[in-house]
Chain A
Amino acid sequence: MKTKSGFVSNSSSSSFIVRGIEIKVKKLLRLFGLKKPKRNKQNELWGCEDETFELLNEYVSERMNPLSIEKTIRDDGYTECDSVVIGMTWGDMGDGSVESINIEEKMEDDDENIIDKLNRNNVKVTKKDLRLHIFYSSGG
């Protein structure tokens, strides 16, 4: 059974704090050796109709655990995004609560693993390519 690796909430707001890379969807499909699926408006996979993202999400969940993949746009469940973020989730932001991260400790624990998982799947990166990606969408 597939599980969704990213942050999901019942509300329409979403957020993530991910240590990793931002990469174009087209490039990622090529590197993973995947073919872009045709859009199917009837297919409500995960209650979402962005089949390309779901295909990438499935690949990452199965082969790159514990890394996750996240959209870089507000997820309306349909709009395809040009780029995604792949990496280790370091947290998410709740409304009005402070997320405090010990980044030295996290980098020491996770950077090597992130680089290894990406390189093993044809995404060639070094430590200097890693960034901290922060996203919040209140969802209206």
Chain B
Amino acid sequence: MKTRQGFVSNSSNSSFIIRGVKLKTSKALKLLGLKLKTKEELGEDYYGSEDLAFETIQNYINKKCKKLYVENPNGYEEGNCESFVVGLSWGSGEFHYGGIVSIDVEKEMAKDDEILAMLNKVGIVVDKKDLKLHLCYICGG
């Protein structure tokens, strides 16, 4: 089983700050022309969640573009996610422990064209106006 690409701490909490798009899992499968993989087919790429649709998409995107983050807001141990977020990470982690993350938005937005190119490369064609900042904190208890 692989380790997770995004931010992971020793606790079961996780978080992400991603500049990109949020997509419906079912629509993304169709859009990317993907066939649902089984745990066996995912093999070493299987992350251990029960959500094979998400894992199939994540596996596909990670193989095409390592710099893109694919995040499931339900957390990795939970059930199926209706939607997921894909894009470039603007940071995470610090606020796990009650800290603050400060982002120079203009500086980060200079990378928007790069994000669009990466999304395009994996088959997700969107405009600059479709890019949003997606933030999530998942308390693992």
Contact = CB atoms under 8 A, between A and B. Distances in A.
Interface in B120-141: 129, 132-139
A59 interface: no
Interface in A56-99: 72-74, 85, 91, 93, 95-99
Contact of A73 (B75, B98, B109, B135): B98
B132 A134 contact: no
Given A98-B85, A103-B109, A138-B13, A133 B100 contact: yes
Contact of A134 (B17, B22, B73, B139): B17
Given A22-B100, A134-B95, A99 B136 contact: yes
A7 to B, nearest CB: 13
Interface string A98-122: 1111111001000000000000000
A95 B135 contact: no
Interface of A: 13, 15, 17, 19, 22, 72-74, 85, 91, 93, 95-104, 107, 127-128, 130-138
Q: How large is the interface on B (under 10, 10 to 19, 20 to 34, 35 or more residues)?
A: 20 to 34
Given A13-B139, A103-B133, 12 more contacts: A17-B135, A95-B138, A95-B139, A97-B73, A97-B136, A98-B135, A99-B135, A101-B132, A103-B105, A132-B105, A134-B101, A134-B102
Contact of B95 (A97, A127, A131, A136): A136
Interface of B: 13, 15, 17, 22, 73-75, 83, 85, 95-96, 98-106, 109, 129, 132-139
Contacts of A73: 98
B137 A95 contact: yes
B22 A133 contact: no
B135 A101 contact: yes
Nearest to B22: A100
B12 to A, nearest CB: 11
